[in-house]
């Protein structure tokens, strides 16, 4: 592998599991299958000599059983502001190519796919505030998604919980919240008040950067 790349930015994920997502703890998923929306903003990034600063991306994912059992489907959506070189660079990263085996969640997810749809190019309206546990993702005619803090049912105040994975392949620390997402097209999703997490995404071809 000769390609060198790096992404630093923020990421939002909404899946169909209950809050906390047992998959994060090597436990079976809540419902015995997995479907999810993942989206991110690149504050700073590159792929070899191609700059990726400022670009957004999203992925739709579905597995009929547990992720490790495979047979998944994947649809990647790349910011329409990306030029041809940037689109191909992001495609390679998001599909787990040019990556050390098993080093990132992009690689792991893609390795479990039986069907990978051609990437879409679309305007991605995206805001992610990790500390506030807030996110909005809007992709015209494809995705509408929101993330919010979990509210304490006793006092109505935001509930603050984190997942800490010192050896995680996606993040070290993620803020936990709740998400609602609708997706149409090659992969349809309908999630309502299910698990969401918000995290700093900082990685390269060899995995998460923890400095």
How many C-beta atoms surround the C-beta of residue 114 within 10 A?
11
Residue 185 has a pLDDT of 82
Structure tokens at 67: 């992720």
Residue 211 has a pLDDT of 77
Sorted by sequence, the CB contacts under 8 Å of residue 31 that are 6+ apart come out as 16, 17
pLDDT tens-place string over residues 36-57: 999 999 999 999 999 999 999 9
Exposed (0-12), middle (13-18) or buried (19+): which is 36, by Cβ within 10 Å? buried
Residue 1 has a pLDDT of 61
Q: Where are the domains of the chain?
A: 5-208
pLDDT tens-place string over residues 139-177: 998 999 999 999 999 999 999 999 999 999 999 999 999
3-state SS of the chain: helix, strand, coil percent to 5?
10, 50, 40
Structure tokens at 121: 């190019």
Residue 2 has a pLDDT of 82
- Counting as low any pLDDT under 70, the low residues of the chain are 1
Q: What is the full DSSP assignment across 141-192?
A: TTEEEEEEPEEPTTT-PEE--EEE-TT-SS-SEEEEEEEEEEE-SSS-EEEE
């Amino acid at each position: 592998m000769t390609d060198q790349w790096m992404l630093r930015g923020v990421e939002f994920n909404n899946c169909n599991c209950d809050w906390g997502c047992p998959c994060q703890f090597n436990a079976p998923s809540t419902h015995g299958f997995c479907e999810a929306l993942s989206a991110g903003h690149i504050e700073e990034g590159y792929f070899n000599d191609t700059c990726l600063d400022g670009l957004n991306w999203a992925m739709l994912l579905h597995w009929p059983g547990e992720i490790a059992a495979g047979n998944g489907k994947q649809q990647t959506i790349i910011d329409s502001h990306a030029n041809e070189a940037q689109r191909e660079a992001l495609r390679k990263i998001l599909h787990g190519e040019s990556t050390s085996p098993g080093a990132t969640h992009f690689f792991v997810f893609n390795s479990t796919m039986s069907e990978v749809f051609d990437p879409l190019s679309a305007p991605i309206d995206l805001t992610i505030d990790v500390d506030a546990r807030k996110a909005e993702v809007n992709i015209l005619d494809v995705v509408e998604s929101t993330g919010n803090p979990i509210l304490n049912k006793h006092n109505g105040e935001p509930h603050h919980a984190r997942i800490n994975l010192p050896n995680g392949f996606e993040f070290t620390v993620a803020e936990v919240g709740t998400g609602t997402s609708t997706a149409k097209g090659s992969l349809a999703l309908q999630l309502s008040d299910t698990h969401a997490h918000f995290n700093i995404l900082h990685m390269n071809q060899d995995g998460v950067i923890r400095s």
